[in-house]
Amino acid sequence: MEFQLSPEDEAFRQELRQFLREEVPPEKTGGMSSMNEGDENGGDAFAMAMRKKLAQRGWLTMGWPKEYGGQDASPMRQTIFMEEMAYWDAPGMDLMGVGIVGPTIMRVGSDAQKRQHLHAIAKGEVIWSQGFSEPGAGSDLAGLQTRADLKGDVFVVNGQKIWSSGAHRADYMYLMARTDQDVPKHKGISALLVDLKSTKQGLEIRPIINMAGMKGFNEVFFDNMEVPRENLLGELNQGWYYSMGLLESERTAFINFSAIGRSVIEGLTRLVNDPDARGIASGKRPETRAKLADATIENKVARNLALTVTWMTGKGIRPTYQASVAKVFGTEAFKRLAWSAMSIVGLYGQVERQKQYAPLMGRVNSIYYTSVGMTIAGGASEIQRNVIATRGLGLPR
């Protein structure tokens, strides 16, 4: 199968490439991590500036309806955008606000919430985080224990979240909390929009340093934190059903794994052919050739699986299990590529991003660490395999 782009889509890809060539010098790459490190003023300054530039061109929220600052762009156009951004390792993306929070507010938010949040996201002005997982509730998210008790005009929140990406930089959190203790677990959960910056009491955010040595995740503690009643998203006790819909909007991001992978394979191919490259396995060695050939095969399969999901979404067909196929294969192939890349660049692979002698601007080092979490985030591989077995093959639950 070959996915053919329309002349308009192809022209868009070329325009975006030109923009990225001009705007993102190699030393400013690092799209996957740049929002979490950097200055203390609400995220890395370059990444936030990039986000605003993307917003000014209408690209940041291109898939949104025009009334909310979008362009009604097709899933294919959004996929092209994701693919180029990931290939260039360009900072500025906003998967949380644009891909998850915004679409849910559009669907079930009040008029006041739409006014307050949607244009701010579309202009690239705010950072959102997601407060779903807890120490005892990850795959089994419906088992979450953080509670929000409605007392007069406020919800009083107590409990703990964990792995909240970017919460230490975020302005807001999309929080899932239990609002009814006496009903089956899926039926007692609500979604709250929490203003992290203006909450002064009962909130503690503790960054977790990840294995790459960076601040990425957080533990977030709530001790009688008050959230105004009007910050309830949609209806009371319906939060579970909203969150299930929103995970679908992450699908166009599956292309990221093959896009990053392709750029790494191209970079490695240059390196193994460069007689002056330090400590790099030669492209003449059979095992180097085999590793790069295998990576290329997997990369093409991963891209086709991701594009199949895009194509189905564009046709209005729900990729009930195909999205899981693309996620499992894309992320697991990405992990295998990271291992191969590390073995090809040898000890130099341990040189961190932006340091002299770091091969491919440190991208090998960064994917080696970040690829590990990708098979867990957004539904672990085992859970995806369960989906493929039950929804895809009809096996019993």
Ligand X SMILES: Cc1cc2nc3c(=O)[nH]c(=O)nc-3n(C[C@H](O)[C@H](O)[C@H](O)COP(=O)(O)OP(=O)(O)OC[C@H]3O[C@@H](n4cnc5c(N)ncnc54)[C@H](O)[C@@H]3O)c2cc1C
Task: Give me the sign of the Cα torsion angle 29, 217, 369, 78.
Answer: negative
Region of 39-47, 83-91, 109-117, 125-133 interacting with ligand X (CB under 6 A)? 125-133
Which pair of tokens denotes residue 296? 């290329």
The reply on whether position 380 binds ligand X by CB under 6 A is yes
Stretch that binds ligand X, among 58-66, 83-91, 114-122, 127-135 (CB under 6 A): 127-135
Residue reference for tokens 């993102």 = 24
**CA atoms in the 13 A half-sphere facing the CB of 264:** 35
Look-up of token digits 């991001």: 253
Asked if 154 touches ligand X (CB under 6 A), the answer is no
Among 377, 389, 391, 392, binds ligand X (CB under 6 A): 377
The only residue of 317, 382, 390, 395 in contact with ligand X, by rule CB under 6 A: 382
204 is known as an active-site residue: no
- Amino acid type, 88: W
Pick the closest to residue 57 from 130, 123, 151 (CA basis). 123
Contact 162, 133 (CB under 8 A): yes
Binder to ligand X among 33, 78, 133, 299 (CB under 6 A)?
133
The residue from 30, 92, 283, 373 that contacts ligand X (CB under 6 A) is 373
CB atoms within 10 A of CB 13: 16
Residues in contact with 311: Cβ distance below 8 Å, sequence separation at least 6, in sequence order: 3, 75, 76
Q: Tell me, what DSSP letter sits at residue 87?
A: H
Residue type, 36: N
Decide: is 138 part of the binding site for ligand X (CB under 6 A): yes
* Residue from the set 23, 120, 386, 391 that interacts with ligand X by CB under 6 A: 386
| 208's tokens | 């977790």
Stretch that binds ligand X, among 14-22, 36-44, 352-360, 369-377 (CB under 6 A): 369-377
* Residue among 37, 125, 248, 250 flagged as catalytic: 250
Nearer to ligand X, 9 or 37 (CB): 37
Question: What tokens appear for 285 in the block?
Answer: 């060695």
Using the rule CB under 6 A, is 132 a contact of ligand X?
Answer: yes
Of the candidate residues 14, 139, 273, 354, the single one contacting ligand X (CB under 6 A): 139
Q: Which stretch binds ligand X (CB under 6 A): 48-56, 72-80, 238-246, 375-383?
A: 375-383
Residue number closest to ligand X, CB atom: 138
Q: Which is nearer to ligand X, 138 or 267 (CB)?
A: 138
Identify the residue among 108, 351, 383, 387 touching ligand X (CB under 6 A).
383
Of 378, 387, 333, the C-alpha closest to 95 is 378
Nearest to 365 by CA among 347, 385, 377, 383: 347
Closer residue to ligand X in complex, CB, 131/349:
131
Return the residue matching tokens 């955010």: 205
Q: Closest separation between CB of residue 372 and ligand X, Å? A: 8
CB of 382 vs ligand X, minimal distance in Å = 3
Q: Does 43 bind ligand X (CB under 6 A)?
A: no
Of the candidate spans 83-91, 232-240, 276-284, 378-386, the one that interacts with ligand X by CB under 6 A turns out to be 378-386
Q: Does 142 bind ligand X (CB under 6 A)?
A: no
Q: Is 97 an interacting residue with respect to ligand X (CB under 6 A)?
A: no
* Residue 390 beta carbon to ligand X: minimum distance, rounded to whole angstroms: 11
Name the site residues for ligand X (rule: CB under 6 A).
Answer: 130-133, 138-139, 163-165, 373, 376-377, 380, 382-383, 386
Catalytic residues: 250
